[in-house]
Amino acid sequence: MYDRGVRLHARPSRSRLAVVSTLLVFQGVATQAAAAPESDRATCIAAAERGQKLRKDGRLPEAQKDFLACARSECPAFVRGDCAQWLSDVVAVMPSIVVAARMGGKDLFDVRVIIDGAVVLERLDGKGIPMSTGEHVLRFEYATEPPVETKVLMREGDKGRAIDVTFSGSGKPATIGGPTIAPPPPTPNPPPTTGKGHSVVPWIVAGVGAATAVTGAVLFVVGNGNFPAECNKDTGTCARGIDEAETADRVDRASSSHGESNLGLGLLIGGGVVAIGGVVWHFLEGSQTNGGAEKPKDAATAAGASRWHLVPNVSSHNSSLTLTGQF
C-alpha cells in the first residue's frame, strides 16, 4: 500500500512549483523597480545642487549641463520644474563669442581655438562658443603662422561678441579686433570774440548807478520838503513850542528830514559817479580790441570787472556814499 498522504506532502505538484517561481520573479522585478527611482532621484538632486553652485561661480556652460540632467522626465516633478527654470535663466545670460579669421582678405577655416588652455574648436564653423563669465585667455593657431593670445572679460548677457583675427601670412604676429566704438566727435572751438561788440557788464553798472541816482534825488526832494518851517537848517536850531513835547517833536522831525535829504544827496552823487564809470568802462573795453579780435586780459583785470562796492555812511546830521572799484 502507498501512503498517499505522505507522498502528497513530500512531493509538491509541478503546478505549485510554477506558481511559486512566478511569484519570486515578480518580487525581484518589483524590488528592482522600487530601487531604480530612488537612484534616479538622488542623481537628479545632486545635479541640481551642483548646477546651482556652478551658476553662482559663473561657470554657466557647466551649469547648463547639470540643469539639463536634472530637468529630464525621469527626475521628480519638484526637481524637474526648478531645473527647467534655472536652465532658462542660464541660457538667457550665458555669454558667447563668435570667432572669424582672415589672411590676405580671405576667410580662414582651419583655425584652432584654445580657451584657458583647453581646445574648444579645431575648425571654425561660424557658431557661437558659450563662455563662463569673468576673465579668459584666448589663443588662436593657424598652420605655421605665429599663434596669438589675448585676454577678454566676458559679462552676463554678452552674447555673440565678435572676435576677429587677422593673420599676416608673413610670419608676423596676428592682429585681433572686435566691434569698434566710434570716438566721440571733437568739441567745436568757440567762435572768436570780435571787437565789434561789448559786454553788457558796463551797461549794467551804468544802469545801477542811474537808478541809485534817481532814488537819491527823490529822497533829497522829499527830505527837504518835510523839513519843519520852525527850524533853521543853517544854525541847526528850532523855535520853542508851547511845551517841551512840541519842541522835541520839531527837533526830531528836523533831524529826520535832514538825514533823509543828506542820504538822498549822497545816493544822487554816488549813483551819478557809478553811471559815468559804467559808460567810461564801456569805451575802455572797446579800446582793448585790435583788428577785430579782443586782446586777452590778465586774471586781475578780468576779476576787477566785478569789484564794485557802494558803502553808504549815514548819521543823524550827515550822510555820504563811498564808491570803490576798478575798470
Q: Give the residue-averaged pLDDT of 308-314.
A: 52
Together in a domain, 102 and 75 = no
Decide if pLDDT at 180 tops 50. no
Chain mean pLDDT for the chain? 74
Domain boundaries, position 84: 20-93
Lowest-confidence region among 124-128, 173-177, 225-229, 230-234: 173-177
Together in a domain, 82 and 163 = no
Query: Which stretch, 133-137, 255-259, 316-320, has highest mean pLDDT?
Result: 133-137
**What pLDDT band is residue 208 in, cutting at 50, 70 and 90?**
confident
In this predicted model, what pLDDT tens digit does every residue of 82-130 receive, in sequence order?
999 999 999 999 999 999 999 988 999 999 999 999 999 999 999 999 9
In a domain, 54, yes or no: yes
Together in a domain, 282 and 172 = no
| Nine-digit cell string for 284 | 575802455
In this predicted model, what pLDDT tens digit does every residue of 52-85 receive, in sequence order?
999 999 999 999 999 999 999 989 998 999 999 9
| Nine-digit cell string for 231 | 527850524
In this predicted model, what pLDDT tens digit does every residue of 139-173 receive, in sequence order?
999 998 999 889 999 999 999 999 999 988 776 66
pLDDT of residue 307: 52
Q: What is the rounded (10 degree) CA torsion for 39, 43, 44, 46?
A: 140
pTM above 0.75, yes or no: no
pLDDT of residue 9: 40
Q: Which of 145, 162, 177 is the last residue of a domain?
A: 177
pLDDT of residue 174: 61
In a domain, 185, yes or no: no
- Identify which has the larger pLDDT, 98 or 326: 98
**What pLDDT band is residue 190 in, cutting at 50, 70 and 90?**
low
Together in a domain, 64 and 131 = no
Report the percent of the chain where pLDDT is more than 70: 66
Q: Which of 177, 209, 241 is the last residue of a domain?
A: 177
